[in-house]
Structure 1
Amino acid sequence: MMSINGKNTTTTSQPPPPHSTGDGGGGHRLRLNPNSEHEPDNYEDLEVEFSPLLFSALERYLPPSLLSVPKETKLNYMNHILLRYSSKTDRLRLHKHKEYRQKIISNYKPLHCDLYTMNGSSFFIPSFLKAISENTEGSFRSIMKEDSPGIFTFEMLQPKICAKLVEEVENFEKWVHETRFRIMRPNTMNKYGAVLDDFGLESMLEKLMDDFIRPISKVFFSEVGGATLDSHHGFVVEYGTDKDIDLGFHVDDSEVTLNICLGKQFTGGELFFRGVRCEKHVNTETQPEESKDYPHVPGHAILHRGRHRHGARATTGGHRLNLLVWCRSSVFRELRKYQKDFSSWCAECDREKKERQHKAITTTKLELLRREEATS
């Protein structure tokens, strides 16, 4: 999470897929453009240091001669590259975080075990499941509202699942208090809440991203890596008069963010949006048409680009909990390093591009008029 004024930031180190820049890495390179027709292998059955999904995403960027070799050979090739982009310090930090998670999982006793393995029919309302099974833009739009470009709202979770998730978080917080275990909070801007991945819900959230968020993101957020989402950060935030009150204007450390209201009873807390921006334009002014507020409704979701500037107004009464899943694409993050034009998704880049085009057309017209006057 990054605040717009740059004072509050959270960065998560993860090795990005490399670009074929000829960096002298013993010939281990990737292609500039993926082979979209190639069906990558699944690496979840192998013991790997990085995310298995990352290897599957990277495989389409392998040289053509490697696409048909054994999976282990491809894995070694990609792993060799990734290690060049992951420092020893980063790997040590990841190892310590794994130990931290394992310590929690070994000692914390879940309250609702059925939350830890996703069952779609019990988690989601029927209309949402139907739209996902049909997997078309039309089926997605049939359950969604897009009152503002790039911000989608829809009913998603069953009420009983919302209640169980709230109870599970409260049970975890009770265990933390009783054991005096020092936990990591979701980000630097929230003092209350819990990282769900840290106490056993990682595989459930990974399935949520793979099977339910990515199909939608592939259709509506393809320009920011929606089709190649391969990692996530899942957490619950809490707001109330004795918790965090509001959330400042910021952008998320994600390509796509899913925000689901879990409850309980509360007033206020509306989510406000102020336009999509790249890093260069994150502090630019908001245009009138970019300003939009959304009320939170238990069980309902809001899906948006991580770079869509937003915040939360004060929760003036009661207790509000929201589940957030920051979905990331390693491939998009690497390719973004080599791009200068983000007009396909940054509103300010698009405005500047149109302004340049308008100036070029105006200059051309004036030059033609000048020539005509000179020859007449």
Structure 2
Amino acid sequence: MHRELYTMHATNFFVPSFLMAIKDNTEESFRNMMSEPSPGVFTFEMLQPRFCELLLSEVENFEKWVRETKFRIMRPNTMNKYGAVLDDFGMETMLEKLMEDFIRPISRVFFSEVGGSTLDSHHGFIVEYGMDRDVDLGFHVDDSEVTLNVCLGKQFSGGELFFRGVRCDKHVNTETQPEEILDYSHVPGNAILHRGRHRHGARATTSGHRINLLLWCRSSVFRELKKYQKDFSSWCGECQREKKERQQQSVAAIKLELLKWEGEAAS
């Protein structure tokens, strides 16, 4: 219905501050248009209201067609019962360009240790929340290296995201440290960008209808290398704590040995 959605029209899609930052393509330009409310979680204005309206309208038309034809479609993931995979109705090329030209430059700067500079595939989808839709979303990690989550609208209350620290497979169920706690309230047109391994969930949408665009960005290079790694302290919060603890114990043991040696030498 809205053909302009299927190819990348950057000036029609994005707000000027986002386009300017991408054009300059420096850490400074990215930081100027972003907030970082918690380490590794970035929020910024991204989509123009008109683009959000067109995409919502396109999704509604697609869902209407699905209902009328009783066509079976794949839902976004194992957790969301409502929504649609955008790649399945022709948006794959546009989303690929979104990842390559707009998300990968940012990820190269802020998420290099999880394959941010080698993102090479994506899974793009819409999720829907409301009283007659999915209400909330449990605590989980994404099947991505980097996740882009943009609120499209509509009118709603509740639905806050809660973040609880980045974890590798081994530590995914470990407890959260106080400094890792972040709650984020969605604003239509605004994006949140984070590592896929950043544990998070969504609180109940208490009224209205909330619809979000998600882009899971993946790196085949990072996934291959990860198979042979044992130390993830460059990005896993718990691995970092364990490493720090080992270093402190090692320093303490050396100090003890020195004191012992000095004592023996004195006697």
TM-score class, shorter-chain normalisation, is over 0.9
Equivalent residue in structure 2 for 1:314, among 177, 188, 204: 204
Percent of aligned positions that are identical: 77
| 2:63 maps to amino acid | E
- TM-fit CA distance, 1:176: 0.3
- TM-fit CA distance, 1:375: 1.9
| 1:169 maps to amino acid | V
Equivalent in the alignment of 2:191: 301
Spell out the pairing of 1:1-376 with structure 2 (5 A cutoff): 111-376=1-266
1:232 match: secondary structure: strand
Segments of 5+ residues of structure 2 without an aligned counterpart are none
Segments of 5+ residues of structure 1 without an aligned counterpart are 1-110
Distance 1:357 1:339 in 2: 20
Equivalent in the alignment of 1:34: none
- TM-fit CA distance, 1:139: 0.4
- TM-fit CA distance, 1:278: 0.4
More divergent stretch after superposition (264-273 vs 365-374): 365-374
Distance 2:229 2:69 in 1: 48
After superposition, what is the alpha-carbon deviation per residue over 1:212-241, rounded to whole angstroms, capped at 9, x for unaligned? 000000000000000000000000000000
2:106 match: secondary structure: helix
Count of equivalent residues: 266
After superposition, what is the alpha-carbon deviation per residue over 1:171-219, rounded to whole angstroms, capped at 9, x for unaligned? 1000000000011100111000000000100000000000000000000
- TM-fit CA distance, 1:169: 0.7
| 1:196 maps to amino acid | L
Greater RCO (CA < 8 Å, at least 6 residues apart): 2
Superposition RMSD in Å: 0.5
Larger Cα-atom Rg: 1
TM-score by length of 1: 0.70
4+ long deviations beyond 2 Å: none
| 2:116 maps to amino acid | G
1:370 match: secondary structure: helix
